[in-house]
Structure 1
């Protein structure tokens, strides 16, 4: 895709992205210092040097300040930009690789976010919905790339396995406090399940 059809964000959009990240970073610091339940939106807004009105413009709830991320759009964009005739395994690796690279680029932030998800029941419950959306996203990719229906049993099964790759690797990464690179964990898991992907193209 050319630069003309996929332009870089303008100054206004970059400012929005920066403020969004500033609010999330301030929130995570407060959550780690005084606990998720004991931190208010007002405190987060003050720490981010913004207003509660601005906070709610970016994040509808306190849960969203932790859970909101660009993983799904990044996965979709990367997959869409891949050559239509390349092997399915290459497309999946590229799309997952983009998501993993973004997570590792902001390693401390991502680890803090995932630690909260693992320890706060309200966040864990909402995160289950994110897992379901990931499975749906992978199902769509596999079906569209292979010409199979979305409700094809094999497509659904392999989408579930691939989602497990991402979430299991992420949980191990957090449990080990990032000792092993997330990209290494995902690569190991993908190497194990790639024969399944190959069956969709057979």
Structure 2
């Protein structure tokens, strides 16, 4: 395998180590009391390396932390907005290991319970939704300002948020499978 593949795997491992250690420290010390220096030391990196991966501490647990979805969206086959997003979620989850999915679930639960992170997610969501809207518009052959596109994206993320809430309460739930099932139901026009 070439160096590019090795470098990418090392970057993924470093990113996951930072996230793992940050959330361990957040749980042990509290979000506000945990410093970037502590996270860097626990992940065995320098603070400068931390900043190459995450510009701020709140970037550890905010909406733009799910790169697999953003990578999966542009490569989906053309289709309805719901079909494009459902396919992107399937592709994104398929690219993750069981450990990565479990860690992501834990981060979601944490991000929903820390007021600073709830506020950060609310500040960031318009930009992220606009980015998603533009990609989905391209894949669905619609204008980005089409109200039907807005409605479909809102419905998809509303359904995903409801499943995430359920998954937060029930760790035994197969979250990715339930998201897919719920989006299939939405895609069918909520029939049945």
Fold match by TM threshold 0.5: yes
Does 1:79 pair with 2:77?
Answer: no
- Contact 2:18/2:40 (<8 A) preserved: yes
Alignment correspondent of 1:147: 141
Query: Whole-Å Cα distance in 1 between the matches of residues 63 and 130 of structure 2?
Result: 18
Q: Give me the TM-score of the superposition, normalised by structure 2.
A: 0.81
Alignment correspondent of 1:35: 30
CA RMSD of aligned residues (A): 2.8
Alignment correspondent of 2:152: 158
Q: Provide structure 2 residue ranges, at least 5 long, that are not aligned to the other structure.
A: none
Does 1:186 pair with 2:179?
Answer: yes
Q: Structure 1's 162 and 130: CA in aligned 2 closer, same or farther, altered over 3 A?
A: farther
Deviations 1:43-73 (A, max 9, x none): 11221122222222322211112337652x4
Q: Structure 1's 78 and 103: CA in aligned 2 closer, same or farther, altered over 3 A?
A: same
Deviations 1:125-144 (A, max 9, x none): 11224543453244324422
Q: Provide structure 1 residue ranges, at least 5 long, that are not aligned to the other structure.
A: 1-6, 198-202
Alignment correspondent of 1:109: 103
- Contact 1:20/1:58 (<8 A) preserved: yes
Alignment correspondent of 1:135: 129
Aligned residues: 188
Q: Which has the higher contact order (CA 8 A, sep 6+)?
A: 2
Alignment correspondent of 2:41: 46
Q: Give me the TM-score of the superposition, normalised by structure 1.
A: 0.77
User: After alignment, is 131-140 or 90-99 more displaced?
Assistant: 131-140
**3-state SS of 2:181 partner:** helix
Shift of 1:112: 2.2
Query: Whole-Å Cα distance in 2 between the matches of residues 136 and 159 of structure 1?
Result: 10
**3-state SS of 1:50 partner:** coil
Alignment correspondent of 1:4: none
Equivalent of residue 120 in structure 2, options 123, 126, 130: 126
